[in-house]
Structure 1
Amino acid sequence: MKDFPSCFGENAVQVADSSSSNASKTAQNLVICVYQCRIRGRSCLITITWSKSLMGQGLSVGIDDASNQCLCKVDVKPWVFSRRKGSKSLEANSCKIDVYWDLSSARFGAGPEPLEGFYVGVVVDRQMVLLLGDLRKEAFKKSSAIPLPGNAVFVAKKEHVFGKKLFGNKAVFCDNGQVHDLVIECDTSSSSDPCLVIRIDSKTVMQVKRLKWKFRGNHTILVDGLAVEVFWDVYNWLFGASSLGNAVFMFRTCLSEEKMWASQNLSDANVLQWSFSQRFPESKSQGLGFSHVLYAWKNE
């Protein structure tokens, strides 16, 4: 197996502050999605952040260029004190960017990300660059924008899961991919030699024994006919100062360039800079694909 610290930098152990209960509570209600698109011929990343607090649901939309320079950002505060629908216009690099949202009828599950009954749209020069949600007709009617087919590609997602020894989640492994039931199982409290098991749709796809010796590593599995590389770092679970520490898992699908969106210019370092406190070195930034990052917090 490859050395996991080489992917995260020298201080890979410090992925998160496991001793902070405030960090845990904040993380529980945060989902970040990243989309690759082109704006006026330039490669850009659109970051959608869903949050949840005692004040209500929140939404943030940020757009960065290929050099990671922020072009614009829109924050929709928790809607106890703000409207559940609206729009905002911005100017960036001599182009007009409009963000439209309507979550007045949105239905949510346990997390901060809406399931249905909503839309979030990013319009550039009257072209719909990114459209999320099922209320597509309403979004086009409100924005008067024209469709821009095949522009936005879902490239990365970061979220947090909580449990004692089972950590369940819905996951996709490529843009517009099938939704799978993902379960991570690891009992570190009752076993002197814990084992890490990962199941997809109830099928065991990976098992790591002698985990205290293999607390970091990577392994390749096959999902939907695609090779998915799984990275794990469970140091905090086994050796952290607090039993409430978090482990981190990344599921990375590398596709051939022919299968990706034409002329896409995206490196894993650009995608994952928001995902971990340490960035992947450039030598690890080869390949194109989708990355799903999970922080698994023990709540026992």
Structure 2
Amino acid sequence: MSSPLPSCFRPSTTTTSNLTVYHTETGPVSITWSRSMVGRSLHVEVHHDDSFDSLSFHLHITPFLFWKKHGSKKLAPNTHLFWNLSKAKFSSSPEPLSAFYVALVVHNRITLLLGDSPKEAHSNSKAHRPNTPQLLLLQKEHVFADTLYSTRAAFAGKARLIQIDWDHSRLSFIFDGETVFQIKRLKWKFRGNHRVLVDGVHVQISWDIYNWLFHNHNHNHNNNAHAIFIFKFQHHDDQDSNWNLGASEWAKMGKSCSSSSTGSFSSVLEWSSVEENQLLVPVGFSLLVYAWKR
């Protein structure tokens, strides 16, 4: 039996990637940072609200070959991408930690700005600030561990450490060292969702650990022994915000991303249940974690 996930969602043994999706005043933008044995890469996918077409840009970041550490690229007549990674500091994760910027300019406004060098980005692009700020919709990560899986997300004004602790008898969700929810009898509760309140923010936690519990019974390897977790952070006023994506817009972006050469993003609408689809249509920030056994 093959894995129910599309191949683009299963990292190879030598490549890891993290995806973020932002809402901007001109439409959603997906950013994928990847790391492999030969280097890193950046992939940008720009989606316009009024079109099914998308614009893409791919940059190889390798220590062995020449690559353009800073520069700009015209993606369309009114769309330009600016970047500077010449002094970027990296760790084990695919994306840089500091000393970099990536800026998307549409109609002479910076609609998306990543990194910690905003002054340099504005100076080099000579672009204005956007009319509406960018908003993070989705963050997708692959994490690897034995029993304790860790990731981070920013909400309620600060960055948080989120940990998933599991053994065959229980599954615990820990925010900044405090257990907010625990599940027992996992063989009867291997899929589900639950809402918790963390510092005034409603967090809906969804989990699917079927592969962890049952997959290896019929396989001699654990390459596909992954679990899926969704953390959906929703403030009380998110329902009234004007930046939420509807299902059609989310599906449109997923279809476009899944056809990109990197395969960095595939529409979950192709394989998820109706309930999961509703979770992934952003009404706030969602963190999607693929947890893999070492």
Q: Same fold (TM over 0.5)?
A: yes
Q: CA deviation at 1:259?
A: 4.5
- Identity percentage over the alignment? 35
1:31 is matched with 18
- Matched pairs, number: 269
1:71 is matched with 54
2:80 equivalent to 1:85 = no
Q: CA deviation at 1:16?
A: 6.0
- Scaled by the length of structure 2, the TM-score of the pair is 0.82
Contact 2:11 2:17 in 1 (8 A): no
2:179 is matched with 204
Q: Sort the Cα spacing of 1:219 and 1:270 in 2 relative to 1 into closer, same or farther, 3 A.
A: farther
Q: 1:140 aligns with which of 116, 122, 141?
A: 122
Distance 1:287 1:139 in 2: 28
Q: 2:79 aligns with which of 97, 112, 121?
A: 97
**Structure 2: runs of 5+ lacking an equivalent:** 255-264
Per-residue deviation, residues 133-178 of structure 1 (Å, max 9, x unmatched): 111111111111111153311111000110001111112347xx42
2:289 is matched with 294
Q: CA deviation at 1:262?
A: 5.1
User: Which runs of structure 1 show a deviation greater than 6 angstroms over 4 or more consecutive aligned residues?
Assistant: none
2:258 is matched with none
Distance 1:179 1:134 in 2: 16
Per-residue deviation, residues 60-102 of structure 1 (Å, max 9, x unmatched): 11111347824200111233431221210021xxx51000111
2:160 is matched with 180
1:278 is matched with 271
2:245 equivalent to 1:266 = yes
Q: Sort the Cα spacing of 1:29 and 1:98 in 2 relative to 1 into closer, same or farther, 3 A.
A: same
Q: 2:95 aligns with which of 93, 113, 119?
A: 113
Distance 1:261 1:121 in 2: 28
2:43 is matched with 60
The one-letter code matched in structure 2 to 1:289 is G
SS of residue matched to 2:86: coil
Q: Sort the Cα spacing of 1:37 and 1:166 in 2 relative to 1 into closer, same or farther, 3 A.
A: same
Q: Sort the Cα spacing of 1:16 and 1:207 in 2 relative to 1 into closer, same or farther, 3 A.
A: farther
Distance 1:229 1:263 in 2: 21
Q: CA deviation at 1:260?
A: 7.1
Structure possessing the higher relative contact order (Cα contacts under 8 Å, 6 or more residues apart): 1
Distance 1:133 1:162 in 2: 25
Contact 2:30 2:46 in 1 (8 A): yes
2:214 is matched with 239
Q: Sort the Cα spacing of 1:24 and 1:236 in 2 relative to 1 into closer, same or farther, 3 A.
A: farther
Contact 1:255 1:288 in 2 (8 A): no
SS of residue matched to 1:25: coil
Q: Sort the Cα spacing of 1:183 and 1:265 in 2 relative to 1 into closer, same or farther, 3 A.
A: closer
**Structure 1: runs of 5+ lacking an equivalent:** 1-12, 189-193
Q: CA deviation at 1:281?
A: 3.7
Contact 1:173 1:251 in 2 (8 A): no
1:9 is matched with none
Contact 1:173 1:228 in 2 (8 A): no
Distance 1:223 1:150 in 2: 27
The one-letter code matched in structure 2 to 1:284 is Q
Q: Sort the Cα spacing of 1:173 and 1:199 in 2 relative to 1 into closer, same or farther, 3 A.
A: same
Q: Sort the Cα spacing of 1:270 and 1:279 in 2 relative to 1 into closer, same or farther, 3 A.
A: farther
The one-letter code matched in structure 1 to 2:278 is K
- Scaled by the length of structure 1, the TM-score of the pair is 0.80
